[in-house]
Structure formats: structure tokens, C-alpha cells
Amino acid sequence: MNQQTAVPPPMDGRDPSNLRGDKITGDRYFSKDFAQKEWDHLWTKIWHIAGRTADIPEAGDFMVHNFMKESVIAVRQEDGSVRAFYNSCGHRGMRMVDGTSSVASFHCPYHGWKWGIDGVLEYAQDGDVDFRKGNPCGKLKLGELRCAIWGGFVWYCMDDDGPTLEEFLEPMPALYRNYPMDTAVRVAWYRIELDANWKFVTDNFSESYHTRTAHPQVPPWIDQDVDSARHEMWPKGHGRTVQPMRPSLSDRPEGGGNAMFEAELRKWDVDPGKYATYEDFALQGWKDLKAAKQKLWKEKGYLHYEHMNDEEITDSPHTVMFPNVTISFLPDNLILFRSEPHPADPEKCYFDLWCMAFPVEGQTEVESIMAGVKPLREVPECEHRVFDKGRGIPELAGQIVYQDMELAENMQAGMHSRGYKDAYLSDQETRIRFFHEVLNDWIEGRG
Ligand code: FES
């Protein structure tokens, strides 16, 4: 993909006067009619992530992305490109493969037809003798979808028309051009079935207003105070909160200490004990950290900082890419959160958590942020779990995402109340309504 260089100025993500004021009604979260409209006008039109390019390095390597009742294969070609095909045999429609693996050709288990990795039929039983229109080999092809790569992710689109991936993501490729995203290693990989509509995940990641209540462990480490963070949104529906990774001055740990920030300062040879006040520790310490990182990144093996700017090496742009992908860009990590609808029940979704870390010379373990300390290597398989009120992922108890999932299930319950008519949002939650308005645009054909 050509990287854009110019980033259009964002709209103010704290200014609701940019919006129409569409209501966020409860039925959006449980109505089967609304879910059908989303399938017809959103999911079949937008770009989806099939997986990481690192999962399919060699020709014939493939991965399958099942989305609602559809299934798509992304497969590496001989020339190094990646193409996407419907996972539906051109003979009678059989779903042929699942998971991530490698093939010389796709072998349908029903009648034995074989499809090349370029999607062309290579073999059909009785091909020469039993087809009145002639041997279909070399003529039939699997249904192909548009496929493109950005950020180390393979994307596909079920619609032949509509925006290119670059247009769809605008301005994300330009905004994040300094991060070597394709080098990030996925060290934790979960798909968790949750009793909530998929939109709660986007809602939740579109604001940090809940953090002080729901995630008390965060403010001592990431300053999400309303006037510290920057709230931005762009016309395509994408938005972000840029949060300084320094202690909040509003929520101070008991006694004023802060082990996480202190450890970060020490890691970069800054003495956390030299500051006279907590304000100095947080604000000057953060500036000293920037200076130390700019000076020492190469020596300490943080080669991914090479093109990152002063903000990117210490801060956290928490970014929602319309409609269902969120990436937290941290100096040393990328965390992808994604929600996808359940194929039959709008009151359920699949919550994907991919914790990725940039390799640092000499490191064998990394703090994955959302899933704890992990070995620095690609995890081979996705952990499929059911949240089950937290019982399905005990190892994530107390983590930020776990707390979010608990909230999502209770939000889902609240949407059925006759007492709920619309959200009453603070300014810093403007992006929630913006998300729903852009969704309405797609559903009503204005997307
Ligand atoms: Fe695939 Fe018949 S359905 S070979």
C-alpha cells in the first residue's frame, strides 16, 4: 500500500456540535432486524482483518477467517502476494479448510476436487469424461475477494466496489507510518465469546471516561484525565485518544509511589528519586523519559523507535478504526481489540485480543500489557474461550480487558430496560455517538 504522507486535521473528539445527535437506542444492541441491516450494508461492504501476515510467510500458507456465516481463506502466493477466496468449493459449495496451515492445493473433502492456491481448479474426478461442457479444470475458479495488506495485517473486502483499503482506513496509514507495525510479534492471542453486542466494544474503546471507575490500576501509569488526553476523530469514523504514559495527577497511588512509572524511568537510566514533588515526578519525569529514550534507544536495542517521534515513544494513542477494530499503539506494544457479531444472536459477540510486542534486542520476555508477561515469540494458535462471567479466562482476571468484558455484559442487560432511551454523554464521550452516526450512514447507504 502506498503510505499517505499528509494527515488531514482531525475533528475535535470532545465537541458534540460536530454531530447530528442521532439517538443511541437500546434496540441497536439486540434487534435481529438491525443486525441484518448491519450484515447487508456494513459487514459485506467494509474491510476485515483476516490475520497477521506473519502467520502465512510461505507460498501455500493460508489462514481462514470465519465471519458470521461467511468463511474466507487468505493464502500466500508464489510471488509473495496474498489473495483471498471464499472458503466454498466451486463444485457444490463445501467449506473446505479451517484454521491456519499450509497446502500445495486446497483439497475438497467431499468429491476430491483440488483448487490451486491461485484459486484455479486443478483436478476434478472424471473431469475429462463426465462433464458435457468439458473438463472444468483450468477454467473454474474459487470466488475471489479484494485483498490488501496494511500494518502487518491481511485485510479483505466482500464488496468488489467501494473504497480501497487505503481509502477506507484514511488517515490511519499516514498517521501511523512511523511504527514498524509488521515487525510486531503476537505474544498473546484470544477469541472470547461474550454475552454482549459487538458495538459495546467499540463504544467502550471510544472513551476513557470509564477508566477511573473501572480500571483504577491505569491512572497511575497512563494519564487519561480529560484535559491531559487529546480526543480526535476523522470523517470515515476513525478516532483516537492520545494519552500521555505518565502518572495522572488526579488519581495518585497511596503514599505517592508508583512502581510502574518508577521502573520505566529506571529502565531508561532516569533516577525516579530525584524529583521533589509528585507533580515533578509525573511531568518532568515524563519529559526526562522522552529525552532519555531519544538519546539511548539505539544503544538499548529499541530499534523500532528509529522513525517514531517524541509523542510516539512515550505516549499511547488508543485508536478505534471504524467499525470494530481498536489498536492501542504503545511505545513497545500494539494491542488489537476487535469485536465481531455472533452469526445467530445479536446479544453475543466474539472479542478478539491480540497482544503484540516490538522485539527489543536482548529481550526474551515482554509485558503484553493485557495478558501479563509472555515469551517474546509468535503464539502458534488462538485460544478460543467463552467468557462465562469471567470463569472462562481466569488467567486474565483483574486485567483491563477482563474488567471491560464484565461491564459489556451488564451494559447488554441494561439495553432492554424501558427506562433507557438514549445515552447522556459527556463531551469526552462524543466519539461514541460519532461511531453510531457513521454506522447509521453505512446502514442508510451514505457510508
Ligand atoms: Fe467440493 Fe464436491 S463439494 S468436490
**108 C-beta closer than 6 A to ligand 1:** yes
Largest CA distance in the chain: 88
- What residue ranges in 9-97 does DSSP mark as E strands? 11-12, 47-52, 61-67, 70-76, 82-86
Q: What are phi and psi of 117, to 5 degrees?
A: -70, -10
pLDDT of 15 higher than 70: yes
Same domain? 39 vs 61: no
Total tally of structural domains belonging to the chain: 2
What is d(CA 277, CA 339) in angstroms, rounded to the nearest whole number?
42
Ligand 1 atom with the smallest distance to the CA of 93 is 3
Burial of 231 by CB count in 10 Å (0-12 exposed, 13-18 middle, 19+ buried)?
buried
The residue whose CA has the least distance to atom 4 of ligand 1 is 111
Q: For residue 366, is it within any domain?
A: yes
**110 C-beta closer than 6 A to ligand 1:** yes
- Find how far residue 360's CA is from the centre of its chain: 22
Given 161, 193, 227, which residue is the final one in a domain? 161
Q: For residue 84, is it within any domain?
A: yes
Retrieve residue 19's grid coordinates. 454531530
- How many degrees, rounded to 5, is the angle at CA 25 between CA 21 and CA 27? 150
Same domain? 313 vs 348: yes
Pocket test for ligand 1, best of 92, 107, 130 (most atoms within 8 A of CB): 92
Q: Quick one: pLDDT at residue 316?
A: 93
**Would you call 372 helix, strand, or coil by DSSP?**
coil
pLDDT band, residue 278 (cuts 50/70/90): very high
- Among the listed residues 378, 364, 332, 296, the one whose alpha carbon sits nearest the alpha carbon of residue 179: 332
CATH assignment of the domain containing 419: 3.90.380.10
**Would you call 214 helix, strand, or coil by DSSP?**
helix
Same domain? 36 vs 88: no
Q: Quick one: pLDDT at residue 253?
A: 84
Q: What does the buried/exposed string (b/e) look like for 73-88 if buried means 16 or more CB atoms within 10 Å of the residue's CB?
A: bbbbeeeeebbbbbbb
Retrieve residue 85's grid coordinates. 477466496
Per-residue pLDDT reduced to its tens digit, 360-404: 999 999 999 889 899 999 998 999 999 999 999 999 999 999 999
Same domain? 108 vs 238: no
Average of per-residue pLDDT across 91-95: 98
Pocket test for ligand 1, best of 110, 121, 122, 123 (most atoms within 8 A of CB): 110
H or E element, residue 144: strand 144-150
Same domain? 243 vs 197: yes
- The amino acid present at 328, given as its one-letter code, is S
**94 C-beta closer than 6 A to ligand 1:** yes
Pocket test for ligand 1, best of 88, 89, 97 (most atoms within 8 A of CB): 89
Q: What are phi and psi of 19, to 5 degrees?
A: -110, 165
Given 146, 161, 176, which residue is the final one in a domain? 161
Retrieve residue 309's grid coordinates. 517521534
What is d(CA 249, CA 285) in angstroms, rounded to the nearest whole number?
13
Retrieve residue 162's grid coordinates. 467501494
48 CA distance to ligand 1 middle (Å): 27
Q: For residue 287, is it within any domain?
A: no
Strands 70-76 and 121-123 turn out to be unpaired
Same domain? 345 vs 250: yes
Same domain? 226 vs 363: yes
Q: For residue 269, is it within any domain?
A: no
**200 C-beta closer than 6 A to ligand 1:** no
Q: For residue 170, is it within any domain?
A: no
**109 C-beta closer than 6 A to ligand 1:** no
Q: What is the pTM of this model?
A: 0.95
Same domain? 38 vs 64: no
What is d(CA 440, CA 436) in angstroms, rounded to the nearest whole number?
6
pLDDT of 36 higher than 90: yes
pLDDT of 257 higher than 80: no
Per-residue pLDDT reduced to its tens digit, 100-145: 999 999 999 999 999 999 999 999 999 999 999 999 999 999 999 9
Strands 47-52 and 153-157 turn out to be antiparallel
61 CA distance to ligand 1 middle (Å): 21
pLDDT band, residue 153 (cuts 50/70/90): very high
Q: Quick one: pLDDT at residue 2?
A: 47
Same domain? 314 vs 335: yes
**113 C-beta closer than 6 A to ligand 1:** yes
CATH assignment of the domain containing 78: 2.102.10.10
- What residue ranges in 211-332 does DSSP mark as E strands? 230-233, 239-244, 315-321, 325-329
Q: Which has more confidence, 3 or 64?
A: 64
What is d(CA 143, CA 72) in angstroms, rounded to the nearest whole number?
10
Strands 185-194 and 349-357 turn out to be antiparallel
Average of per-residue pLDDT across 13-42: 97
- What residue ranges in 221-332 does DSSP mark as E strands? 230-233, 239-244, 315-321, 325-329
Given 161, 194, 224, which residue is the final one in a domain? 161
**115 C-beta closer than 6 A to ligand 1:** no
Q: Quick one: pLDDT at residue 5?
A: 66
Average of per-residue pLDDT across 314-321: 97
Structural domain that includes position 24? 13-44+184-254+293-443
Average of per-residue pLDDT across 199-216: 94
Pocket test for ligand 1, best of 71, 111, 142 (most atoms within 8 A of CB): 111
What is d(CA 447, CA 225) in angstroms, rounded to the nearest whole number?
33
Same domain? 132 vs 19: no
Same domain? 52 vs 24: no
Q: For residue 178, is it within any domain?
A: no
Q: For residue 175, is it within any domain?
A: no
Same domain? 375 vs 304: yes
Q: For residue 267, is it within any domain?
A: no
pLDDT band, residue 224 (cuts 50/70/90): confident
